[in-house]
Amino acid sequence: MKQLDFTVRSNEKLNDQNHLLKVVPSDNEQLPEMLPGQFVQILVENAQHTFLRRPISINNIVPERNEIWLLVQSVGEGTQKICEMAVEGRLNMLVPLGNSFTIPSSRGSYLLVGGGVGTAPLLFLGKKLHERGIACDFLLGGASEQNILQRSDFTNYGTLYCTTEDGSLGEKGYVTHHSVLQHKKYDFIFTCGPKPMMVAVARYAHERGIRCEASLENLMACGFGACLCCVEKTTRGNVCACTEGPVFDINELTWLD
């Protein structure tokens, strides 16, 4: 873990609410190794009501450019200020935090299911799987077409399936109703998104005995294991989502009890 200043290289507005920021360490220090599923804690300056840092997933790492991508949805003051960052602006971040998705050593068929801005860590995961020669399927859901972000990036690393609530892209409905889930048999599922979605995905996986990992977005104060505020109730008791997560095997969670 490091506390570093980053400089915003670019800030692209993807839709009304979502921005893609590409940031590099301000002093060009080499980025520490980062794994898919890990996140950063961003200090939001210039915000009147934002006291704590804000956790944001690592959306992608471009080692050649020493660059981190952050996909941010503006839902409140903190994320709004991050989305409003000017190019060349500074962001102080703690990097990298948390555990990571388990990159399987065995071959098999992999499905990455994301909803809303929960798709953020799945891009980086898909890229890493791809680098290992593992092709995967992405199943992404959103309210409508403009909410399914970074589609061309995803298709670089696998096959993209979509659902939208209004049917404007892919199949109409929720991700767990997508026909690919009926037709195809997966060995691993990774998911990140709104809790009801992840619970539905976990249930699907559990019923079929598919190994499944979910990335949680518990409220956090510190992000590095010091405050014990972010706990998730697991089969091992209360554990910190920021150090022993945010990625959990669904069998450890008590969601389906």
Partner 1 sequence: MQLRNPVMTASGTFGYGTEYTDFMDLGRLGGIFVKGTTLEPRQGNDYPRMAETPSGMLNAVGLQNKGVDYFVEHLYPLIKDYDTHMIVNVSGSTVEDYVACTEKLVGLEKIPAIELNISCPNVKEGGMAFGTSCASAAQVTRAVRNVYPGTLIVKLSPNVTDITEIARSVEAEGADSVSLVNTFLGMAIDAESRRPKLSTVTGGLSGPCIKPIALRMVWQVFHAVKIPVIGMGGICNWEDAIEFILAGATAIQVGTYNFIDPSASVKIVEGIEEYLLRHNIASVTDLVGAMEMG
Ligand X SMILES: Cc1cc2nc3c(=O)[nH]c(=O)nc-3n(C[C@H](O)[C@H](O)[C@H](O)COP(=O)(O)O)c2cc1C
Positions in the binding site for ligand X (CB under 6 A): 227, 229
Q: Which of residues 21-80 bind a second copy (CB under 8 A)?
A: 45-48, 50
- Give least dist CB 5 to a second copy, A: 17
Residue 4 DSSP SS3: strand
Cβ partners under 8 Å of residue 167, min gap 6:
none
216 interacts with, out of partner 1, ligand X, ligand FES, none, CB within 5 to 8 A per kind = none
* 3-state DSSP assignment of residue 103: coil
Q: Which of 23, 202, 222, 247 binds ligand FES (CB under 6 A)?
A: 222
Q: Which is nearer to ligand X, 199 or 229 (CB)?
A: 229
Give the separation between CA 101 and CA 220, rounded to whole angstroms.
19
* Options 11-19, 45-53, 128-136, 166-174: segment touching partner 1 (CB under 8 A): 45-53
Considering only residues 150 to 189 of the shown chain, the ones binding ligand FES according to CB under 6 A are: none
Cβ-based nearer residue to a second copy, 5 or 153? 5
- With contact defined as beta carbons under 8 Å apart, do 160 and 154 qualify? yes
Q: What one-character DSSP code corresponds to residue 117?
A: G
Alpha-carbon distances of 170 from 3, 109, 145, 158, 244, rounded to whole Å? 41, 21, 8, 16, 35
What residue ranges bind partner 1 (CB under 8 A)?
Answer: 1-3, 43, 49-53, 94, 218-233, 237-238
